[in-house]
Every structure is written in C-alpha cells, then in structure tokens.
Structure 1
Amino acid sequence: MTVANQVQPVAHARTYTRSDFTALRAFVQRVPAPTIARLYFTEDEDGHEPTPGWVESYLRRMQAELVELAMEHGSPVLADHLKASARAHGSARLTSISLKMVEEAASLAVARPSAAHGVGMWFRPLVARRLKSEGVATLGELIDFCNRRGGSWWRAVPRIGAGRARHIVAWLRHHEDAIGRRVDEDVDPADPLAGPAAELVQVDGSSRALVPLERMAVSRVLSGIDGTNRAVAFPYISARHDLDAVRAYLYRFRQQPKTLRAYTKELERFLLWSLKVRQKPLSSLLVDDCEAYKDFLSTPDPAFVGPKAPRVSGRWKPFASAELTAESQKYAVRALRAAFAWLVNVRYLAGNPWAAVNDPVVVEREAKLRVERAISASLWTRVRDFIDGRCDQEHGSYWRAVRVALLLGGDSGLRREEFALAQRANMSPTTFGDPDAPVWQLTVVGKRNKERTVPVSPATVGALAAHWRDRGLDFHAAETGPLLKPLFIPSTTRAKLKYRETLDLPYHPDSINHMVRWAMRRLIAGMADLSASEMSFLAGTSPHAFRHTFGTQAAANDVPLDVVQRVLGHASLQTTSIYVQAEKQRMMREAALYYSPKEMAPT
C-alpha cells in the first residue's frame, strides 16, 4: 500500500501531499531541516515561508497527527509500541520502518491535485521556480502552457530538458481526472536520440545509406546482440543491442545540449564506420579495429564527407571536412575511450579496447586560444557603423537582431550559447556609467554550468530595445522572455511544429552561426573600404570571434586582467592572459633591435 498515491477518507481536515510524506521520511532519517526546506518546500506552501524553523515545526505536527491516528486505528501491537515510545521520550519516536507502518495505519488522504493548485505543491522547488519564471504558477496554467506550445513546450523553460518534460507530462496525464484538464496528445516531447519507426534506415556494409544516430536501424548480425565483447555479468542498463547502449550513454548528457551534440557526433561517426567499413558490431571491435579508426580519422573516406546538411536530409554526411585537425582527432579518440569505459562500468561490455590505443600526437600550441580570430579595433568600429546603417534599410529587423548578437559577444564577451539562451528576467540596470545610459548587468549560465554576471553596454541595451520593438514589446517594461528571438517562422511543417504562433522560443545556438554568416557575406559585399586581407578575415569569422574581440580590446585598454577573466568566465587567469600581447610585442621589439644594421668598423 502506497499512501502517497491513493485518495482515502480521513477523520480530520488536514491533507498532505506526496512531497509532505517524502519530507517527513527525510526528517525521520535526520536530514537537516534547511536541506528539507530547500528540497521539498517552496514559498507558496500553505502561505508560509519555508524557513528551517517552520519546516521542522510543520513536520513535527504532521508526525504527531499521524501517530495519533495510528494509535486510534492501527493494530494493538503498533499502538502499544507507540504509547511506550511516547512514555519513554515524551513523544513517539519513529524509524523509517515504523513511519511506514504509521502511514498505513493512519490511512491519511493525500490532497488530490487541482487545476488551481500551485506548481510548488506538487513539483520539486527547483522545477517549480523554473516554471514560475515563465509565468506558470498553477497546474491549470501548466497544462495550458503545454497545450499552447506542443511537444517542444519545455524549450521555453530554462533548463527543463526533454527527459524531465516527459516525466511532468506523464504525471499530469496520470492525474488528469483529478485536475479536470487534459494534456493534448501532441505534447509528448520526442526522444532526440531515436526517431519514428517510419524514418529509420537500415545501415550495413551492403547498403550505401549514411544516416545520423536517431535514424539508424541495424540488422541482427551487426546489432551487437551477440557481440564478442558483451559482458557476462549482470548488466546495469537494459540495452538489448549496441544502439540501445550508445543511446543510454548519450542520455546522461540530456541536460547538456552542447556536450550531447559533440558526443553524438563522435559516436555516430564511429558506429557508421564500424558497420560499413569494418562490418562488425560495436561490441565486437578489438584494439586493431580502434587503431584502424584512428588512422581513418586522419583521412576519412570520401563517401563519409560532404557539405553540412540538415540531419533529416538525404545529403547528410558524418564529416563536413576531409581534413580533421590533430586536436579534433585527439578529441574523438578521448571521447570514444570515455564512452567505452562507461559501457564497461555498467557491464554492457567486458573490456575497453580503446584503453590500449594512444592519443594522436598533437603539437602543444604556444597559445591555446586563437586570439588572432579577434577583430581589430579599427575593423570592429567600421563593422558596427556599417550594421547601424543597414538597420534602417532592407531587412532592417534582421540586421537589428544581428546587431544584438554581435554586441552581446563583442561588448560582453558572451559565448554563442550564452547569449542565444539569455533571458530578460536575468538582466537589470546598474548605478554605474551615465545616468541617462547606465551599464546593465546580465546573469548567464556558461561552461561547466557555472553562473556568472557580465556587464552590458549602453549600445547593447539600445540595440535590444530596437529588437524588442520589432517583436511588438517594450524591452524596458518587460520582465520575461529571451533577449534574442526569431521574428519569422519558416513555412515548413517541422518549423510550424517547433514554433507555435504564441511560442516564445529563443534562437537555437546553431541559428546564430547562420546569422553571422549571413551578415559577413553582406559586409564583404557592401563595405567599400575593406582590404583583401580584411575580406578574407570576415569570410572566416564565427560568433566566437566577437568574444575574442572583447578579450583583446579590453586587455589593450588596460582593463584589469582579473576583471576580463570574470567577464569571460575563464577558470584560469593564465587562459585570460593570452589576450595580453605586451610581452610578445616586447620580445619582437628587442629582436628587431638585435637584427637591425649596426655600424661596425671594417675588419
């Protein structure tokens, strides 16, 4: 009997939620009250502030009520035990086992979910806070939110991934009778690692098909069901074959989209090579196979290489270039070694053949960051002036969005993913700078899931205000929403499913690359004063170049290095110091003196 999942009659007015019972069990197990308050209570619980003192008092009252009902309605043995404990200690002391017996004996009802209930009553505080940040305060509003946005509703909520979204939707459907509202059928988020059965393509040595991981199907012979490296011990994952095992590994990174994309790329490349070139299942590969793949990385087969194309396209290829850098080859080997190590740890594989493979040799660079990608101060000023001029001409609204992206990178040092996902709720003015045009501050979550706050220039704030006017909104009056948002939705079925008419989704980070390429082509064609070298430089400019631009120009203007480090979010000051060119310039200056002609007496 699980009291927390059933509705039963009670002899008193109070009802308790599933979170209440979970919190009480933690309390009985002597988990500190501050921890319980943070994990299981939110500010709207019964209108009380979830302070540790209030939580402890609330749980003691709850425990006393449970014990009272258990003594009245439970077995004589349990009643005698509780009375004896009360006489000895002043109140009945419970263990985890006796608490379960008390819950069953008391037959307490759990509050039935209602459309008017706050999300904090039923979901963990972390989830509830994220939902509330998007204006979703009740279960009814949550269902409306899901139905309005469809299967990708979770993308509009910061750091709610597809996996967590599936659990939320499943819970809402389970309680739809009590809530009195229904979640639409199309709301289930699709698994990004496995496509619909109708889109699967069988990949083997005899077929010419090359498809991404989510569209792969494999024959039994190559599936790995009978792989020679399969572990004989009890497995920790329920993977039937190699595709299941690979997806189980990648699922660990579902809350880290950038890492997920990178690891998916490496594993699908290796899997395709294993099936089509080696014609062996992944779970039968040996050290010599891995060594062969390492050689393959240096010169990929032309059939595996092609220009970038959508993953749903028949033109998709696993490699966009036939010339992988040594660093990229080393990354691939290390990513595969780590994946195989995990498969060994969960007892899917018996051993890790990559453990015996050395990393490709890589030249240790003098500078790990390629700061030569930074735009010079002169070119940066001319680029900004050109874009400002285009904002009032054809495609002006898109140019205004481009201007926001470039300034968030070039004036605030943000990475592509950071400014693509930045939210208005995390931005506010400061008291610094010109009173009429102050510096603002923006909090973002960067690499390693570390939060940091960066300055936002008055020019960027002005650009944001113009972009928000294009969206029909007042930036200064708004409290929520993505800083950058697409203004136009493609007419394709896929786009319509992703972007509902009222959906407030930000740009996808990959769309920022397209935006920058679009702008660079027009800069090269439209700026009359560009030199040949500047044209070549702009043709290869990526969103990350603007972050390097901030670092280089801030250091050149004597901004303290520790300040630059904080803005850029570098873990080490040594990484930031690469932007300081003074020592390199001094070295070259001294060398020039040494090489200069000297007046020497003839010999």
Structure 2
Amino acid sequence: MANKPQTVTKSRAAYTRNHFAALRAFVQRIPASTITRLYFSEDEDGNDATPAWVEAFLRRMQAELVELALEHGSSVLADHLKSSAKAHGSARLTAVTLKMVEQAALLAVAKPEPTQGVGMWFRPLVARRLKDAGVQTLAELVDFCNRRGGSWWRAVPRIGPGRAQHIVSWLRHHERDLGAYVASDVILDDPFRAPEADLVTIDTGSHILAPLERLDLANELAGTNGVNRHSSFSYIRARHDLDAVRAYLHHYRDQPKTLRAYTKEIERFLLWSVTVRSKPLSSLLADDCEAYKDFLRAPSPDFVGPRASRVSGRWRPFATAELSSESQRYAVRALRAAFAWLVNVRYLAGNPWSAVSDPLIVEREDLLRVDRALPPSLWQRIRAYIDTQCDRDDGAYWRSVRVALLLSGDSGLRREELVNARREAMSPTNYGDGQETVWQLSIVGKRNKQRTVPVSPATIAALTAHWRDRGLEFDTAKEGPLLSTLFVPRTAHGQKKYADGTALAYHVDGINKMIAWAMKRLIAEMSTELSVDEIKLLAGTSPHAFRHTFGTHAAAEDVPLDVVQRILGHASLQTTSVYVQAEKLRMLREAATFYRRPKSEPA
C-alpha cells in the first residue's frame, strides 16, 4: 500500500515535468541562472523568473517532496531521509535518492489540462517558439497538429522533427487528461525515410529504381567501408552513405525549395552510382563523376518516365531525356557542393567533384523570354482601363490588382518580392529631379540580397487608394504589407486567421490567381480594342511578365543598363542586356507587318 497512489488532503503546489527536470539539475549543483534559462518561462503576466526566485521555489519543492516521501515512501527511504535531516538540518538529496523521492511523490505531479499554457509543460525555448506560432495552450497545440498533419512542425521556426516527435508523443500519452486526441495521420517519421514495409532494397546487379526515402542499400553498396571514407571520426552520426546524404539534406530543412532541388540531384546521382556503376557513393572517384556528367547529356531510358507519385512503381528520376545545359551545370554544382559538405564534416576524405569541370553552356540571348513583355501601347491601354475600373465604388479588388501590376511593371519586383514588400521599408527621397518626389523601397530578393528600387508616382497613388480600402492612410502608416488581402474567407479557419484584424499579405499563389483573374476580364471587356496577337499575349501573361515589361521598356527608353540591372537585382550585367532584344523583336514585328502589306504593281 505504501507505494500505491493515495489521496493527499494537504494543499500543495502542482509540479510539472519541467519542475522535476529543474530539481534534478538543482540537486546536481547546476547554477540557478542556468536552470532558470532552461526550464522556466515567463508567468501569465509575461514576467520572467529570476534565479533567486527559482532557487527558493526549488528548495520549497524539495522540502515538500521529501515530506511526501516520508508519508508515502518505504521505511528504508524514510529512515535515510530522517538521518540526513538530523545530520544537516534538512534532507540532502543525491541523484539516486531524488529519483526515489520522485517515485514516492507522484501525487504531487499535476495532470495537464487543455487550458494550461504550453509554458507549464515544455521548456521555455520550445514554449516561446510555439507561442510565436500562435499556440498558447495545450488544446491549441493539439488542434494545431491535427490541422497541419505530420508536417505541423515546419510552421514553427526551429522546431525540428526530433523535438516535434517528443511533443506529439507527450500529447498522446496525456490524451485522457487533455480530453483531446492527436489525429492518427500526425505521423512524424523521418521525412527522408519511409516505413520499413515500403523500403526497396537494391543490391549489386539490381536495376530497381526508387526515390531516396524508400531506398535501402545492400551491404556491398551501403558505403560502410567506402574507399573514400575519412579515417578520423566524423562530425555526423552516419553509419553509411544514406545516413550521410540524409544528414546533408536535413541541413536545408527550413528551405523547402532548395531542399527539393538538392534532393532531386543527389537522388539521381545515388541511384546511378549503385545501379549503373555498382559502387557505393563513398567509393566514387573523379572518373566516375566525369561519367555521370556524360550521363546527364542523355540519361538512359530506364531512368526516364512521365511524372508519377513517389510511392508508385512507375516513378523515375528524370521526367525528360533532354536536360538543358543549364540543368546539367546545376546538377554538377549541386553535387560538388554536397560532396564538399561531406568532406567538411569528415565523412569523406576528399571531393572527387573538385576535379570535374562544369558542362559548357551556350548563352542564349532569349533566355529570359523577353517576348512575354507587353508592348508599350498595350501596357498603357491596360493601365488606362484598370484606372477606370478602380474609380468605381466596387473597384476595391481592381485597386489591389493595380498595386500588384505597378510594383512589378514600374519597379520590376518579382512575385515573391511583391508579397514581402512592406510599408516600413518605404520612404520618400530628395534624389529626384527637383520637380517630383521619388519614393524608394528596400526589399530582400533572390539569393537573399537586399536592394533598393524606385517607386513611381502612379504606384504611390495606387497604394494610397488601396490602403484606404483597408481603412488606413498610407502617408501616415508606419508598418504593414504594401499589398494586403481585403476579404476574409467564410471558412472557420479563415475567420480564426483574421480574427485579430491584422493585415495579411498575399501568398504567391494568391498573386497568380489575381493576375489570372485580371487577364481574363481584360480580354473579355477589351476584346474590341485588342488584336488577336494581343489577346494571345494576355492569355499567357504571368506576374513575371510585368517584370519583363519594365526591363524591356526601360532598355528601349535608353535607361542605362547598369541602372536597370540594379533595379531588377540581376547578378550580371549580361543578364540585363537581354532586354535590349526588345528593340530587335519590335523590328521583326514591324518587318512582318510590312511584308504583309499589298504591293502596288510596278509602273
């Protein structure tokens, strides 16, 4: 009976798992300042705990747990605690005796409740990250996981799959206490490794192809004893090549686009290595890498197939057998970078790709597809028509469209830059011609490079009208997205998302839908003013086309190319020079019109 749960009538504090972890550290003489930082978050009023308060709290907790152990523990433990208290004035605990006290004092541990804050049960750093993602209570945490599924942790900065697995396991352990259940599809298996039942084993002589997460390699291909393995201890815990590859890809877990691209390249190379060369990845030499570079020019038919689900047996590494020279060069550079990382962490002894040159690339003058840019006359007619729609009382959405088009067409913003542009990054300048104030906008663009772009007076007027639709004055506002959604979705999720009235920027997919919506209406409502060629051009117009429109028009108006380069954020002036081809395209169109004209008979 002594160790069975019993009701304790005395009033006591409710201790959480964090409190017990903190007490263990306290018993081991860890400084109170360190314990405070690791285990104690702010209270309900947002006040941070102080080391002095934490030390007093833990001494009081220790005394109460000892009292519980004396009441409900074994006689041997009770005698030991009494002797310690008699000798030292209070019972001194070691790591071993503390564990015995904890087992005897389980009744002091609070049961989690759905309304309790996440800070009561998780370490401060974890709790702070959850709160930053809008998760305050345990009930909200369960709902957050269920709404987002197994990848819920990707929406919480710096919460990786390992920590997420512990959180979900804890929630499932306390489902009865919480009265809330984590959905069965919230599975947090390694994203780079499928369940055992779905793995495909490849051995020497096998020609089976499977995506990276379903791949299992026989011992002779695993790379456990690869000839290029580093002789010293590695900085990563990798038994074989698959572990090493997954460790490298995990490095890009917070960059989904980069992760997809690198996974594709390493996956292709690994499959080629084990099925074509019959070698582990860690045994490949420079001549193997040269052979793969040749392979990229014309992948073998068994590596190529139409797009299919990664769980399908029809999946193939390549969707086409005709890789562009740019794609070939990207593959080589991606693999060289991956192997360099494996060398840096001392998994590999050397980088065979360092001895392989990049594939040659023929620079194409029409690489940027400047033919998608709108001709000046069409661009002006579209702007005039949109202005008339914006003047209507029900023209709020058109006013949003106008902002998007002008930020792209007058300032050359990319789609991602458009949705991330903010009011606090804008300011008027005195650098104009003295007659017109020129505004500037600071943005972070491709390759995480910051640049400043000019903003036209027409764009400022469009922004002013759009902000008034949001109930704000653009001139006096201090912060917020330049372009914000105006309509709250009727779904429960949408209502909750917009409940606090915070202005939310568009997602890039929302910009795509906005431009598609506008183009359809322009074609339908301006049909009598548009030629067949103009209708075709508008039907295929994307948000990026307006960035090309800015580049071609600026080049045609003799704006210096280095200025256009800086505005567009191109890494090379050679890239920007492509926009000069707009004049060549105009020349060819005019010549075609001339050739179609009826010719008069010779006199």
TM-score (norm 2): 0.60
Q: CA deviation at 1:16?
A: 4.8
> Equivalent residue for 1:291?
290
Q: CA deviation at 1:273?
A: 1.8
Question: What code does the residue aligned with 1:341 have?
Answer: A
Q: CA deviation at 1:268?
A: 0.8
The 8 Å contact of residues 32 and 52 in structure 2, kept in 1 or not, is answered as no
> Equivalent residue for 1:250?
249
In 2: Cα distance, 1:306 partner to 1:119 partner: 48
> Equivalent residue for 1:187?
186
Query: Cα distance 1:311–1:388, how it changes in 2: closer, same or farther (>3 A)?
Result: farther
Question: What code does the residue aligned with 1:410 have?
Answer: S
In 2: Cα distance, 1:204 partner to 1:322 partner: 25
Secondary structure of residue in 2 paired with 1:117: coil
Query: Cα distance 1:520–1:31, how it changes in 2: closer, same or farther (>3 A)?
Result: farther
Larger mean CA deviation between 463-472 and 207-216 belongs to 463-472
- Does residue 275 (structure 1) correspond to residue 274 (structure 2)? The answer is yes
In 2: Cα distance, 1:47 partner to 1:289 partner: 61
Q: 1:58 aligns with which of 49, 53, 74?
A: 53
In 2: Cα distance, 1:41 partner to 1:550 partner: 54
Gaps of 5+ in 2: 1-5, 68-79, 391-396, 429-440, 454-459, 471-482, 558-563, 585-603
> Equivalent residue for 1:410?
408
Question: What code does the residue aligned with 1:293 have?
Answer: Y
- Does residue 151 (structure 1) correspond to residue 150 (structure 2)? The answer is yes
The 8 Å contact of residues 375 and 546 in structure 1, kept in 2 or not, is answered as yes
Q: CA deviation at 1:464?
A: 5.8
Query: Cα distance 1:116–1:430, how it changes in 2: closer, same or farther (>3 A)?
Result: same
In 2: Cα distance, 1:212 partner to 1:430 partner: 43
1:334-384 CA distances to partner (integer Å, 9 max, x unpaired)?
Answer: 322332234345554444322333444568999999988766666556678
In 2: Cα distance, 1:74 partner to 1:106 partner: 10
Q: CA deviation at 1:264?
A: 0.2
Query: Cα distance 1:121–1:286, how it changes in 2: closer, same or farther (>3 A)?
Result: same
Q: CA deviation at 1:531?
A: 7.3
> Equivalent residue for 1:46?
43
% identical aligned pairs: 50
Q: CA deviation at 1:520?
A: 11
Query: Cα distance 1:549–1:99, how it changes in 2: closer, same or farther (>3 A)?
Result: farther
Larger mean CA deviation between 13-22 and 291-300 belongs to 13-22
> Equivalent residue for 1:136?
135
Question: What code does the residue aligned with 2:53 have?
Answer: Y
Secondary structure of residue in 1 paired with 2:145: helix
Q: Which has the larger radius of gyration?
A: 2
The 8 Å contact of residues 223 and 243 in structure 1, kept in 2 or not, is answered as yes
Q: CA deviation at 1:267?
A: 0.3
Larger mean CA deviation between 448-457 and 331-340 belongs to 448-457
Q: CA deviation at 1:243?
A: 2.7
In 1: Cα distance, 2:306 partner to 2:511 partner: 15
> Equivalent residue for 1:503?
none
- Does residue 123 (structure 1) correspond to residue 118 (structure 2)? The answer is no
Q: CA deviation at 1:287?
A: 1.5
What pairs with 1:386-425 in structure 2 (closer than 5 Å)? 410=408
Secondary structure of residue in 2 paired with 1:187: coil
Query: Cα distance 1:104–1:213, how it changes in 2: closer, same or farther (>3 A)?
Result: closer
Secondary structure of residue in 1 paired with 2:115: coil
Q: CA deviation at 1:118?
A: 0.4
What pairs with 1:437-456 in structure 2 (closer than 5 Å)? none
The 8 Å contact of residues 340 and 354 in structure 1, kept in 2 or not, is answered as yes
Question: What code does the residue aligned with 2:145 have?
Answer: C
The 8 Å contact of residues 228 and 283 in structure 1, kept in 2 or not, is answered as yes
1:26-47 CA distances to partner (integer Å, 9 max, x unpaired)?
Answer: 99766978x966x7554xx432
Query: Cα distance 1:79–1:403, how it changes in 2: closer, same or farther (>3 A)?
Result: farther
Q: CA deviation at 1:192?
A: 2.9
What pairs with 1:2-151 in structure 2 (closer than 5 Å)? 13-19=12-18, 41-42=40-41, 45-51=42-48, 54-62=49-57, 64-65=59-60, 111-125=110-124, 127-129=126-128, 131-132=130-131, 136-147=135-146, 150-151=149-150
Question: What code does the residue aligned with 1:55 have?
Answer: T
1:518-554 CA distances to partner (integer Å, 9 max, x unpaired)?
Answer: 8899799978636759957975x66555566688999
Larger mean CA deviation between 18-27 and 175-184 belongs to 18-27
What pairs with 1:190-229 in structure 2 (closer than 5 Å)? 190-197=189-196, 199-201=198-200, 209-229=208-228
Q: CA deviation at 1:169?
A: 0.7
Larger mean CA deviation between 454-463 and 234-243 belongs to 454-463
Q: CA deviation at 1:184?
A: 3.2
Query: Cα distance 1:409–1:292, how it changes in 2: closer, same or farther (>3 A)?
Result: farther
Larger mean CA deviation between 14-23 and 69-78 belongs to 69-78
The 8 Å contact of residues 18 and 39 in structure 2, kept in 1 or not, is answered as yes
Query: Cα distance 1:210–1:517, how it changes in 2: closer, same or farther (>3 A)?
Result: farther
Question: What code does the residue aligned with 2:140 have?
Answer: E
Query: Cα distance 1:258–1:219, how it changes in 2: closer, same or farther (>3 A)?
Result: same
Q: CA deviation at 1:258?
A: 1.7
The 8 Å contact of residues 307 and 316 in structure 2, kept in 1 or not, is answered as yes
The 8 Å contact of residues 444 and 450 in structure 2, kept in 1 or not, is answered as yes
The 8 Å contact of residues 304 and 319 in structure 2, kept in 1 or not, is answered as yes
Question: What code does the residue aligned with 2:408 have?
Answer: G
Query: Cα distance 1:131–1:521, how it changes in 2: closer, same or farther (>3 A)?
Result: same
- Does residue 170 (structure 1) correspond to residue 169 (structure 2)? The answer is yes
The 8 Å contact of residues 524 and 538 in structure 1, kept in 2 or not, is answered as no
Secondary structure of residue in 2 paired with 1:319: coil
TM-score (norm 1): 0.60
Query: Cα distance 1:380–1:132, how it changes in 2: closer, same or farther (>3 A)?
Result: farther
Count of residue pairs the alignment pairs up: 508
> Equivalent residue for 1:488?
none
Query: Cα distance 1:381–1:344, how it changes in 2: closer, same or farther (>3 A)?
Result: same
> Equivalent residue for 1:599?
none
Question: What code does the residue aligned with 1:259 have?
Answer: T
Query: Cα distance 1:116–1:364, how it changes in 2: closer, same or farther (>3 A)?
Result: same
Secondary structure of residue in 2 paired with 1:13: coil
Larger mean CA deviation between 407-416 and 299-308 belongs to 407-416
In 2: Cα distance, 1:536 partner to 1:315 partner: 37
Gaps of 5+ in 1: 1-6, 84-91, 93-97, 392-398, 434-441, 485-506, 558-563, 589-603
Q: CA deviation at 1:100?
A: 6.1
1:75-120 CA distances to partner (integer Å, 9 max, x unpaired)?
Answer: 978997899xxxxxxxx9xxxxx99689669858654433232012
Query: Cα distance 1:549–1:36, how it changes in 2: closer, same or farther (>3 A)?
Result: farther
In 1: Cα distance, 2:158 partner to 2:407 partner: 22
Q: CA deviation at 1:333?
A: 2.5
In 1: Cα distance, 2:520 partner to 2:277 partner: 45
Larger mean CA deviation between 269-278 and 154-163 belongs to 154-163
1:458-513 CA distances to partner (integer Å, 9 max, x unpaired)?
Answer: 559789656645768679866479756xxxxxxxxxxxxxxxxxxxxxx7x7x789
> Equivalent residue for 1:354?
353
The 8 Å contact of residues 66 and 106 in structure 1, kept in 2 or not, is answered as no
> Equivalent residue for 2:333?
334
The 8 Å contact of residues 266 and 336 in structure 1, kept in 2 or not, is answered as yes
> Equivalent residue for 1:266?
265
In 2: Cα distance, 1:158 partner to 1:277 partner: 40
